[in-house]
Structure 1
């Protein structure tokens, strides 16, 4: 995120009478701490920024939690940016959009471009080409300040750092702030112009405060609702986040209008700082922010801002906490905070990839921290500082006036290279026949697939299908037909496959692990005269839980969707329901049948419905970190080394057998022997790639499983 919330100087209002953020020189004549001076430079907020970035990095490296530091940054960003706009509106003329946007870009883009260009280069050198497309997309969305929306659509888990995570995932908050800067600039320009034309230029500040208060209230109410119903989306949603920045913006409107007694300042400062420090330890921000729980770090930050307003943080009369925050170590850390935030996450992710570990550990974390600090310092000295000094004034640029120009040229070239490389790679993929077309039917004599395991079919030497570029698009028909509800869609979507005119109906219900069997079921239904009706939602096996989870995040939509699907099944009464009956064991090797699944079977029994429970297929992972088969193969692995030992992903016996024995209408199906041999689950069998990602079967391989699935359904139900 943008950890430099003061791109235009850091005083609350008026001219900067405090220290230069570049030189660290302090005013020669401090203002008395007893007289509120809204123009005073806020060294304490530089220190608060340093503390916040320290919390963010520590929590990312060692605790795997959301610290609340990002929320501190959001409030500070709203405070300083809005304060700058209001100062420029003081004379009634209003801020210049061109000047503000240009200056903001010069302050923020150079360091970002350097980090993105380095990330792109390291990605090309260390990661397989099968991952370049995702990285290219995030490079472009980060530069355009819209990356948060890209992450929202995938509901990426920001609190978890492992080798499978994007090295740019942390830049979502910069996108939120960039969008806020643009919107608040437009609002202040319009309000300033309107007040000037109405002859009431002096009331720009209170009018702005009123608009900000109303918008912030709406945003907070929206955040509360969307966090309750769809937390994965809410975390990255600008509309749900903007209230945090607007709290800072409101403070910028009212700061200096109220004089606080020393005792009140001390209480605010102490309470605010303590709350900020412990917030991430006691509040589960990843699951609650930006809902009402985010008021904790936001109000704590507001308290610290108010506590130090208008006083000299370096005088003995200042509250102890304010003087602590204004101490040199924290201020120096705050000076490199923006660059440190930009660097620490990609360094962390690339380290985890290099070490092939799910966590850094104590020593690894220190290595990542040291490297990040060095890179942040170099970026601050060689990129940020020259451009800031060079743009501050002609006299400031005179001692090294050529250096800013060189830095600008290099950064501009790097940015152009990033865009050209990302766009070029995406263009290549979009025009490559392998990524544009679906695999379709293959000659079973050349591509026996599952028949190699089941029947020992001869497998001639042939090119693997789907290829590494074909695999991500080798999906079941429902993915192309819009027949699966995504994570942000509450509605139940049903589609018909197989033989639509058939009298017999098989309902396919659950998550994408039920969905990936549709390729085979569609073929079986067409041949056997069975109507296949899908009831599918991403990440949602049918559940009766009041608080279903998606990974470690609440997923209330899954609860509501499941309830409606069960009602429909009760009323529609299909001849059988098919879904998964097991899932990977979260606490060790093998697979299990969760209690949630058995509760649903009980409901089927109450409705008198036949249930066909498919054993889930193996999930590829190393020490709990998922990996894609295509990435492993692209890195030089082979079909064996990219696979998994069978006993690591499958229990010795189907875990659904024992609980199914208690239900007369529950019939377990197990195609594990069509995916794995007795000891190894490879990623390719019979010249067909088994997976299109880390745990979903490719549509082409599922097609080769159709004869065995047909046999087991027929033998179990007696339908044929």
Structure 2
């Protein structure tokens, strides 16, 4: 996130001012205050991550600074050498960015092997490769990882999405400025570079801002990590770099800008929930703050800058700024590993201080013994020159880099060559599953299936077949299971918690001749709420999708609608949310009968989600990896009271087929119940078919 530090010193010496440059360009001196701004911003980032579980806006400040410093360095290069020196600039970037990054990635890989279950190793290896090659943001965007929540279930490399965004910007900016400089220089002379570049950057920034604003309203989970949506923040800084020679506002404007910018930086995290709003219009607050502080001190000696800028230029703030890159790299993995070892969702004050202290020590050591020795104080002619002068450090970093790359690529090759496969139908004699709980079936000694390796692939059929709309798909997708030619129909509607009953319904559909049609969307139980949420994030298209599905059901006229009737509460037990009742009203208005299934328990301890396979891989057993039934479920199905007011509602409750009297274990009848934190394996769902059939028989009357 704070890689701005790695580039703002690319050209620290005085430059040759081109004839076309404004006279004020000569006064464009090194900005110690922006060093300090970076230091203050990293303190806020760390504090908000460790103690408050919020986004501070510091990332957005760093992005503006990155755009400003890197573009300024490129322009100085053009004005000094009449061209962008692509190869030397790329070497300097690699020399400044990679050593610290490689060190942290190697440390995370080692800690993962030592501390995390082997079921997580492949994913961490994949994220390590994504971080090393600067596409981590796209990997996270595809999974909508929740950056708001720091808990043991979160990746220790999740924060490196911002490094990826900046790395992509460096590449595009380097090539783009080189192209514009070459074309404008030939067609209109060197004086045309800044005006032409300003127009291009302004157009791109406006387009990116519009795209980000739209993304906030339709797919914020993706939008948060999207490089295109983030581009306007970097381009804002780039525009300032282009316009810097002419930015000399009156003193009162500078003072006001400095005061407002400082206040906005310090309060942004409290005023705005950035995880739900950035990089949309709300990000104008941290971006505007960074812009205001850059403008306030522009073209002024340090002694003449406004007071806030002078304070940011103090030695303590500047020193924090020097450590910002390494501190950002270290603080998140330290936090996640501490939470994992403590099995806690929050660090607390004392543990949080320990996290911050450890991250500061690691950042100092990284800066002192890795970054500084390998940073040339003059333009190096090759990438390896500083490595030769500091041979031992260079050899260690090179070896670490090669090891990280080799292991990461190797893990991906092995995974691709031997991907996990869904479990085939299991022998009910040796694998009775749910029937061991409700049917009294004997459970012989046998290996649990699916295994911890097979479980991630043992998904409900719609996910396997592409028959569930993902986070960013607004369209209603339908598929059929069971007996596709049957006249009787059951429509399975809602989120993945309705979906994971499809394998059981598919079995019954084939046995009793009815068709199972699915209308499903990830993270989207049917809702008509104005602002539906999932995992703390708004999913605005969920409501539009739900309204269309309800209308489609009214037109398609399935004989029965099958959907979830409860959800887990944040503390203990489960509930029927109020907006579910609004949906039931809509379905009743269309004369649709509803099979309302009680949701299955979600694996969590003290609010922290965990996967059964991770717990089992760490030598847990079926009971210790489960959770107390009283923590997962109310004594009485909460949907019963609500459904009593709706003659079209028919509650179903298979809790006794998933949980024992006192505990909800993670395996029953030799079958693993969950393939992740809270979704049934297809194998266990199939084993639920007999009990589900017994409950449906008296309601449907089809057998």
TM-score by length of 2: 0.96
Q: CA deviation at 1:39?
A: 3.3
Match of 1:495 in 2: 479
CA separation in 2, counterparts of 1:515 and 1:75?
43
- Secondary structure of the corresponding residue to residue 491 of structure 2: strand
CA separation in 1, counterparts of 2:350 and 2:508?
55
Q: Does 1:460 align with 2:444?
A: yes
Match of 1:249 in 2: 238
CA separation in 2, counterparts of 1:161 and 1:474?
27
Q: Deviations over 1:611-665 (max 9, x none)?
A: 0011110111110000000000000101110011111101101111111111112
Q: CA deviation at 1:677?
A: 1.2
CA separation in 1, counterparts of 2:336 and 2:253?
43
CA separation in 2, counterparts of 1:418 and 1:193?
38
Equivalences for 1:3-152 in 2 at 5 Å? Answer: 3-7=3-7, 9=9, 14-15=14-15, 37-91=26-80, 93-152=82-141
Match of 1:280 in 2: 269
Match of 1:26 in 2: none
- Secondary structure of the corresponding residue to residue 445 of structure 1: coil
Q: CA deviation at 1:370?
A: 0.3
Cα distance, 1:393–1:438 mapped onto 2, change above 3 Å: closer
- Secondary structure of the corresponding residue to residue 301 of structure 2: coil
- Secondary structure of the corresponding residue to residue 443 of structure 1: coil
Match of 2:20 in 1: none
Structure 2 counterpart of 1:344, from 302, 324, 331: 331
Match of 1:686 in 2: 669
CA separation in 2, counterparts of 1:160 and 1:310?
41
Match of 1:511 in 2: 495
CA separation in 1, counterparts of 2:261 and 2:425?
64
Match of 1:653 in 2: 636
Which stretch has the larger CA shift, 268-277 or 374-383?
268-277
Q: CA deviation at 1:261?
A: 2.5
Which 4+ residue blocks in structure 1 deviate beyond 4 angstroms?
10-14, 34-37, 390-394, 400-403
Cα distance, 1:36–1:183 mapped onto 2, change above 3 Å: closer
8 A Cα contact 1:615 1:669, kept in partner: yes
Structure 2 counterpart of 1:637, from 597, 620, 626: 620
8 A Cα contact 1:4 1:337, kept in partner: no
Match of 2:660 in 1: 677
Q: CA deviation at 1:4?
A: 3.3
8 A Cα contact 2:54 2:275, kept in partner: yes
8 A Cα contact 1:344 1:372, kept in partner: yes
TM-score by length of 1: 0.94
Q: CA deviation at 1:48?
A: 0.6
Cα distance, 1:493–1:546 mapped onto 2, change above 3 Å: same
8 A Cα contact 2:40 2:317, kept in partner: yes
Match of 1:160 in 2: 149
CA separation in 2, counterparts of 1:278 and 1:674?
50
CA separation in 2, counterparts of 1:656 and 1:155?
30
Structure 2 counterpart of 1:702, from 669, 685, 694: 685
CA separation in 2, counterparts of 1:507 and 1:401?
64
Q: Deviations over 1:542-579 (max 9, x none)?
A: 00111111122111110110010000001111000001
Q: CA deviation at 1:681?
A: 0.8
Cα distance, 1:492–1:711 mapped onto 2, change above 3 Å: same
Structure 2 counterpart of 1:565, from 549, 552, 566: 549
8 A Cα contact 1:3 1:53, kept in partner: no
Q: CA deviation at 1:6?
A: 4.6
Structure 1 counterpart of 2:376, from 386, 389, 398: 389
Q: Does 1:582 align with 2:571?
A: no
Structure 2 counterpart of 1:621, from 594, 598, 604: 604
Match of 1:375 in 2: 362
CA separation in 2, counterparts of 1:13 and 1:523?
74
CA separation in 2, counterparts of 1:493 and 1:563?
14
Q: Deviations over 1:170-201 (max 9, x none)?
A: 11011101111111111111111112222512
- Secondary structure of the corresponding residue to residue 89 of structure 1: helix
Q: How many residues align?
A: 696
CA separation in 1, counterparts of 2:459 and 2:312?
54
Q: CA deviation at 1:92?
A: 6.4
Q: Deviations over 1:323-363 (max 9, x none)?
A: 10000000000011000000000000001011111100110
Q: CA deviation at 1:454?
A: 1.0
CA separation in 1, counterparts of 2:660 and 2:137?
43
- Secondary structure of the corresponding residue to residue 495 of structure 1: strand
CA separation in 2, counterparts of 1:68 and 1:301?
10
Cα distance, 1:301–1:9 mapped onto 2, change above 3 Å: same
- Secondary structure of the corresponding residue to residue 255 of structure 1: helix
Cα distance, 1:230–1:12 mapped onto 2, change above 3 Å: farther
Unaligned regions of 5+ residues in structure 1, if any?
18-33
Q: CA deviation at 1:402?
A: 5.2
Q: CA deviation at 1:10?
A: 6.5
Q: CA deviation at 1:258?
A: 3.2
Match of 1:551 in 2: 535
8 A Cα contact 1:476 1:518, kept in partner: yes
Cα distance, 1:379–1:391 mapped onto 2, change above 3 Å: farther
Q: CA deviation at 1:264?
A: 2.0
Q: Deviations over 1:204-249 (max 9, x none)?
A: 1111111101100100111111111111111100110000000000
8 A Cα contact 1:505 1:576, kept in partner: yes
- Secondary structure of the corresponding residue to residue 373 of structure 2: helix
Q: Does 1:481 align with 2:465?
A: yes
Q: CA deviation at 1:470?
A: 0.2
Match of 1:231 in 2: 220
- Secondary structure of the corresponding residue to residue 592 of structure 2: coil
CA separation in 2, counterparts of 1:43 and 1:234?
33
- Secondary structure of the corresponding residue to residue 535 of structure 1: strand
Structure 1 counterpart of 2:645, from 662, 665, 671: 662
CA separation in 1, counterparts of 2:481 and 2:555?
20
Q: CA deviation at 1:583?
A: 0.8
Unaligned regions of 5+ residues in structure 2, if any?
18-22
CA separation in 1, counterparts of 2:664 and 2:147?
31
CA separation in 2, counterparts of 1:220 and 1:569?
38
Q: Deviations over 1:579-618 (max 9, x none)?
A: 11111012x2111111111111111111111100111101
Structure 2 counterpart of 1:306, from 282, 287, 295: 295
8 A Cα contact 1:11 1:40, kept in partner: no
Q: CA deviation at 1:462?
A: 0.9
